[in-house]
Amino acid sequence: MGTAAANAVGAWALLAKEIRRFTKVSVQTILAPVVSSMLFLVIFAFLLEGRLEPFPGVSYSQFLVPGLVMMTLQQNAFANSSSSLTQSKITGNLVFLMLSPMRPWEWLVGYLGGALARGLACGGVVWLASLPFVSLPMHNLLLTLAFAVMASLIMGSLGLIAALWAEKWDHVSAFQNFLINPLTFMAGVFYSVHNLPPTFQAISHLNPFFYLIDGFRFGFFGVGDVSPWMSLGVCSLAALGLVALTHRLVAIGWCIRQ
Residue 26 located in a structural domain: yes
Residue 257 located in a structural domain: no
Model confidence over 218-240: pLDDT tens digits?
A: 999 999 999 999 999 999 999 99
The lowest-confidence range among 179-183, 191-195, 211-215, 246-250 is 191-195
User: Can you say how many angstroms the Cα of residue 58 is from the centroid of all Cα atoms in its chain?
Assistant: 25
Q: Is pLDDT larger for residue 214 or for residue 93?
A: 214
Q: CA separation (Å) from 168 to 83, 86, 88, 165, 174?
A: 11, 7, 11, 9, 10
Three-class secondary structure of residue 55 per DSSP: strand
Measured CA to CA, the distance from residue 234 to residue 248 in angstroms comes to 21
Burial of 59 per CB tally in 10 Å (0-12, 13-18, 19+) = middle
Residue 89 located in a structural domain: yes
pLDDT number for residue 93: 86
Residue 256 located in a structural domain: no
Strand partners, 55: 58
Q: CA separation (Å) from 101 to 84, 85, 113?
A: 20, 18, 19
Length of the chain as a residue count: 258
pLDDT number for residue 11: 86
Asked whether residue 5 carries a pLDDT value surpassing 60, the answer given is: no
Q: Are 110 and 15 in contact (CB under 8 A)?
A: yes
Q: Is the dihedral of CA 24, 78, 190, 134 positive or negative?
A: negative
Percent of the chain, pLDDT > 90?
70
Question: CB-side exposure of 147: number of CA atoms within 13 Å?
Answer: 30
Q: How many domains does the chain have?
A: 1
Asked whether residue 50 carries a pLDDT value surpassing 70, the answer given is: no
Q: Residues 109, 113, 117, CA angle at the centre, nearest 5°?
A: 170
DSSP labels, 64-85: HHHHHHHHHHHHHHHHHHHHHH
Model confidence over 175-187: pLDDT tens digits?
A: 999 999 999 988 9
Residue 258 located in a structural domain: no
Range of the domain at 117: 3-251
Measured CA to CA, the distance from residue 9 to residue 7 in angstroms comes to 5
Rounded average pLDDT over 188-209: 89
Total-model pTM: 0.92
CB-based contacts of 255, cutoff 8 Å, min separation 6? 164, 165, 167, 249
pLDDT number for residue 258: 56
Residue 207 located in a structural domain: yes
pLDDT number for residue 94: 87
Residue 128 located in a structural domain: yes
Model confidence over 89-138: pLDDT tens digits?
A: 988 888 888 888 889 999 999 999 999 999 999 999 999 999 998 989 99
pLDDT number for residue 45: 79
Residue 188 located in a structural domain: yes
Q: Are 174 and 198 in contact (CB under 8 A)?
A: no
Asked whether residue 3 carries a pLDDT value surpassing 80, the answer given is: no
